[in-house]
Amino acid sequence: MRPPRHHVRSPLLARAVGAAVVFALGACAPADEESDTGDGGDDTSASTDCAVESLPLYEEGQLTIATDAPAFEPWFVDNDPTNGKGYESAVAYALADELGFSEDQVTWVTVPFNASYQPGAKKFDFDINQISITAKRAESVTFSRGYYSAAQAVIATGDSEYASATSLAELADAKFGAQVGTTSLTAVTDVIQPTEEPAVFDDTTAATNSLENGQVDAIVADLPTAFYLTAAMLDDGVIVGQFQPETGETEEFGLLFEQGNPLVDCVNQALDTLDEDGTLAELEERWLSDVAQAPELS
């Protein structure tokens, strides 16, 4: 079961396969889109409106949370969102606790990444799946405030001519791969701008296999995912470096709600509390501490 919310100060886990991933690569959204929190905004409901019995829930008395399957480290551990292990699982249970839900009042459902931000009714209260906040997506759904700032990372094999690149310009002639519908793919086309069209894959597993088999020179994923891929999935994988998909802007992951869902106000209040009391920082340190080690690509 998950650790209590306030005891996350235990020593950092030695996770060789630790820092990294949900194979729905990307939760990344197009890098050329302006960040937008949708209807979440800064306005929040009075705390008295956020009692469990007053919340507009998909299922009465239950907090229904969505994510993709499989769900990989460091976002989730053992492909099991219910165990409270991994950054996003831990954040979800900390939020549930702050909102007044016990562990047995949390229900997890599976929603494919690319389907999560499509217009229409949702069969969950919110989705947590490394989904980048963008203005385009916010036309169809509502986002919370950000709970994690993400960078993109270039992954190659150790024997690649691109493994020692120190700038994006040095990667211009590489054959890239990335998951469809992600900011990682848009970062390739709009930021790296390689001379050859990138290969597009249904998921990160397929992209990783393509790199392993020599069909592409490099792939792009969010940075924590990149650490997982190079540690656990690739025999000779290296992180070439990290970069921000938008010049001068930080990409953020947000919780995704059905458009206009007023529950976002109470969730934003809870996120504010977890930020102010240090919980988010402690969870990030515990599950994502390794990401600071990647070099930056100029």
**197 band by pLDDT with thresholds 50, 70 and 90:** very high
Two tokens, residue 125: 């209260």
Integer Cα distance of 297 and 192 in angstroms:
10
Backbone angles phi, psi at 178, to 5 degrees: -165, 165
Percentage of residues in the chain with pLDDT exceeding 90?
61
pLDDT for residue 222 is more than 70: yes
Q: Is the pTM of this model over 0.85?
A: no
pLDDT 10s digits, 66-109: 999 988 888 999 999 999 999 999 999 999 999 999 999 999 99
152-243, CATH topology level: D-Maltodextrin-Binding Protein; domain 2 (3.40.190)
> Per the omega criterion (within 30 degrees of 0), is the bond before 70 cis?
yes
pLDDT for residue 203 is more than 80: yes
Integer Cα distance of 193 and 203 in angstroms:
21
Average pLDDT for residues 137-148, to the nearest whole number?
A: 96
Residues 171 and 17 sit within 8 Å (Cβ to Cβ): no
Architecture of domain 47-149+251-293 in this structure? 3-Layer(aba) Sandwich (3.40)
Integer Cα distance of 259 and 36 in angstroms:
13
Whose tokens are 């900011």? That residue is 183
235-244, 257-266, 283-292: segment of lowest average pLDDT: 283-292
Residue type (1 letter), 174: A
E strand intervals along the chain:
63-67, 106-110, 126-127, 141-150, 152-157, 176-179, 199-201, 218-222, 237-243, 251-258
Backbone angles phi, psi at 228, to 5 degrees: -65, -45
Nearest to 33 by CA among 115, 137, 143, 130: 137
Residues 173 and 194 sit within 8 Å (Cβ to Cβ): yes
Residue type (1 letter), 158: G
Two tokens, residue 49: 């409106």
Integer Cα distance of 125 and 141 in angstroms:
12
Residue type (1 letter), 12: L
Q: Cβ of 249: how many Cβ atoms within 10 Å?
A: 11
> Domain residue spans in the chain?
47-149+251-293, 152-243
Same fold, 47-149+251-293 and 152-243: yes
